[in-house]
Chains A and B, each alone.
Chain A
Amino acid sequence: MSIMNMVQAINLALDEEMARDQSVVLLGEDVGLDGGVFRVSDGLFKKYGRGRVIDTPLAESGIIGVSIGMAMNGLRPVAEIQFMGFIYPAFNQIVSHAARMRNRSRGRLTVPMVIRAPYGAGVKALEHHSESTEALFCQTPGLKVVVPSTPLEAKGLLAAAIRDPDPVIFLEPARSYRLFKEEVPEGEYLLPLSKVRLVKQGKDLTLIGWGAMLPAIQKAAEAAEKDGVSCEILDLRTLSPLDWTGVISSVKRTGRAVIVQEAPKTCGLSAEIAARLSEEILLSLKAPVERVTAPDIVLPLPKGEDYYYVNSARIQKAIKRAMSF
């Protein structure tokens, strides 16, 4: 057990999975000698060599398309897309092939691969480096979409994703990479890709979020507690396929839900959650489902980013609206 940040935890998971399974290979832009632009694969090139930690040409569709072929022929590639904003050239490969190969071949050929990509705002980066477009992938049957929120979670979820028989989009909150450290175990530590994490129990309201939104959610919950509101917090972990039982049972118990989503409002995952709650437990709801999201605008450059980024104060207001309905 040692104290580490999320970058170190991901590095540890990659290292241990590569040591355990010869079929695991890493590939992407600058992942080798340079250790990745966020240093996530630091040291692995030296340890496993250029044959397993592969610096590729600068071509996202190529990286993902080649990874699909590797997976079809027995390897377990872990491909890095340098930023989620650069994943779109590979969108066709992900949606048209990675997600469908199992079904198309009736289970004869499968694509056990992981696509890692840092995502999200709040780090004052260049254009295209800050989006959170997970919903595009959640709408694609055949993919799993996983977003860790802490170093410990990142380790257990990534190890599970690498061992998973289906393609996993593993989105790492860039803002949380070095935000805090926690104890992370060395050796086998796996988390299920099918269960939400109960961060904190509460009885008045369920706060639902994932990835980089968790710190703001926790802060809002602490503030609400001071006003006498007991908040339950759910970290979704796996956005697709989602643990609907975990989400619905919590909101059924508390009667109120505030969903926090970094992405723009329309057609985001929060919309699906709100719709499911109304389908399943309308009569248990004591207030309309609240959503705290970015507006439906192009993500501003750093000088304007604070208008966009969901903060704890906005979540606190949503909690108040839900409680005073």
Chain B
Amino acid sequence: MLVDDFDPLKGKMLQILDKDGNVDKELEPRIDDKRLLEAYRTMVLTRVADEKSVRLQRQGRLGAYPPSKGQEASQVGPAMALGDGDWLVWAFRELGALLLRGAPLWRTMLYWMGNEEGSRYGEGINIAPSAVPVGSQIPHAVGISFASKYRNEKGVTLCFFGDGGSSEGDFHEGLNFAGVMKTPTVFICQNNQWAISLPREMQTASKTIAQKAVAYGFPGILVDGNDVLALFSATKEAVERARRGEGPTLIESFTYRLSDHTTSDDATRYRTDQELKYWIERDPITRFRIYLARKGLWDDAKEKALLEELGQFVEEEVKRAENFSPPSIDDVFNYTYASMPEDLKSQLEFHRHDLDGKGE
């Protein structure tokens, strides 16, 4: 078991692909070529869509946006380990995981453009909406996975949060409940080293976040967060444990946010160029591309074609999101309750007229 071999308390971190794309043959997971290429495509799509979203924000076409740049493996790797019927619970910087699990890109953009319809991912896609209050989604994941277990289904819930989220009370309460109730939950902490301006070592005096699992009575593992194969392998093991009824696992994905916290942030105020350079050399997409090329699955021509295809695809998705009708006044009232209370109906009519027809 990886969780036994890579004990965070012994200073171990799971890495399968090193920064130069060299693979550890003993640990290399068996993944069929189609899935490897799907994962790579999703990581590149995440990067392209992410950069586009930042540009759209600068042009005033998209609201405040939390970039994923540098964390593509950290998002896609864990999601690769999920199967049909499994749930994804996320915070707000997990675009790659959403895309791999079937959320349409244009819907995710629509959300950041400021429309709740962006969280309507589609029938049968078990993805919770974004949870903006930090860490508050963690107990939800525990409840969702409890419900799967209660009905004797085999579903597992994957729950993302960040290093900042690990300081919140809901992290403690959620993981504590999961341990006690032995729920089929896999917790992924994307430790990207910075919670806006607060560095990881000021977030917790704990040497790793992974080791916090020990206190909750289940395994924790520290994983190279820019290594998609390591993240897949660690999550797959955790998902299988959960499906067997053996309870939760905490995975710390040791990664780095190459961009700002959000488009409203300026990371140059609190971190150095030197640090950035160190992490650019550890880009998760580059090392995965080298791995695929060495397997004979990738080359420059394919890369060029993919970038062209994705560039065009992203433009189409942006168009689709931008062409989506803004909500009507009825839409913003309709989903408050299952059926609209009488008083809210009169407030809607009053408001419609009070807005001088703008609400018509």
Q: Is A295 an interface residue (CB 8 A)?
A: no
In whole angstroms, what is the CA distance A103 to B120 when docked? 11
- Measured between beta carbons, the chain B residues less than 8 angstroms from A142 are 336-337
B174 at the interface (CB under 8 A from A): yes
Q: Chain B binding site: helix, strand, loop or mixed by DSSP?
A: helix
Judged by a CB distance under 8 angstroms, whether B203 is at the interface is: no
From A61, A77, A108, B119 is in contact (CB under 8 Å) with A108
Q: Within the assembled complex, what's the spacing in Å between the Cα atoms of A51 and B138?
A: 21
Q: Is A201 an interface residue (CB 8 A)?
A: no
Contact of A107 among B87, B335, B344 (CB under 8 A): B335
- Is A106 positioned at the interface, with any CB of B under 8 Å from its CB? yes
In contact, B343 and A242 (Cβ under 8 angstroms): yes
**Chain A residues, Cβ within 8 Å of B117:** 106
Query: In the complex, which residues of chain A have a beta carbon less than 8 angstroms from the beta carbon of B145?
Result: 69
Q: List CB contacts (< 8 Å) of B305-356 with chain A.
A: 334-338, 341-344
Check B176 for interface membership: any CB of A closer than 8 A. Answer: yes
Interface size on A, as a range, is: 35 or more
State whether A73 and B144 are in contact (beta carbons under 8 Å apart), knowing that A66-B139, A105-B129, A241-B343 are contacts in the complex.
yes
B57 close to chain A: CB less than 8 A: no
Known: A107-B335, A109-B129. A70 touches B136 (CB 8 A): no
Supplied contacts A57-B177, A102-B337, 19 more A-B pairs, CB within 8 Å:
A54-B181, A59-B177, A62-B139, A65-B136, A65-B139, A65-B140, A65-B143, A66-B139, A66-B143, A66-B174, A70-B143, A73-B143, A77-B143, A97-B140, A102-B335, A109-B128, A110-B338, A241-B337, A242-B343
Query: Is the CB of B9 closer than 8 A to any CB of chain A?
Result: no
Task: Report if A106-B119 is in contact (Cβ < 8 Å); known contacts: A62-B174, A66-B142, A73-B143.
Answer: yes
Size category, B interface:
35 or more
Q: Beta-carbon contacts of A160-173 to B below 8 Å, as 1s and 0s?
A: 00001110000000
The reply to whether B146 and A244 form a contact with Cβ atoms under 8 Å apart is no
Among A54-74, those with CB < 8 Å from B are 54, 56-57, 59, 61-62, 64-74
Given known A-B contacts A56-B177, A93-B139, A142-B337, A70 and B343 have beta carbons under 8 A apart: no
List, sorted by A's number, 28 A–B pairs whose CB atoms are closer than 8 Å: A51-B150, A56-B180, A62-B177, A65-B136, A65-B143, A65-B174, A66-B146, A68-B140, A69-B145, A70-B150, A71-B143, A72-B143, A74-B151, A92-B136, A96-B136, A97-B140, A101-B129, A102-B335, A104-B119, A104-B129, A105-B119, A108-B121, A109-B129, A164-B338, A166-B338, A241-B337, A241-B341, A244-B343
- Which residue of the partner chain, among A57, A96, A108, A144, contacts B176 with CB atoms under 8 Å? A57
Whether A245 is near chain B, meaning CB under 8 Å from some CB there, is yes
Contact B144 A65 (CB under 8 A): no
Residue ID in chain A nearest B185 by CB atoms? A69
B126 nearest CB neighbor, chain A only: A73
Chain B residues, Cβ within 8 Å of A75: 143, 146-147, 150
Min CB distance A250 to B, Å, is: 16
Q: Is A25 an interface residue (CB 8 A)?
A: yes
B170: CB under 8 A from chain A? yes
The 8 residue pairs across chains A and B that have the minimum distance between CB atoms = A69-B143, A65-B139, A62-B173, A241-B341, A73-B147, A69-B140, A165-B338, A70-B143
The answer, yes or no, to whether B296 is at the interface (CB within 8 Å) is: no
Other-chain contact of B148, A73, A103, A165 (Cβ < 8 Å): A73
Query: With an 8 A cutoff between CB atoms, is B169 at the interface?
Result: yes
Max chain A CB contacts within 10 Å: which of B119, B133, B144, B180?
B144
A166 CA to B338 CA in the complex, in Å?
A: 7
Mask of B112-135 contacts with A, CB within 8 angstroms, 1/0: 000011011100000011010100
Does B141 interact with chain A (Cβ within 8 Å)? yes
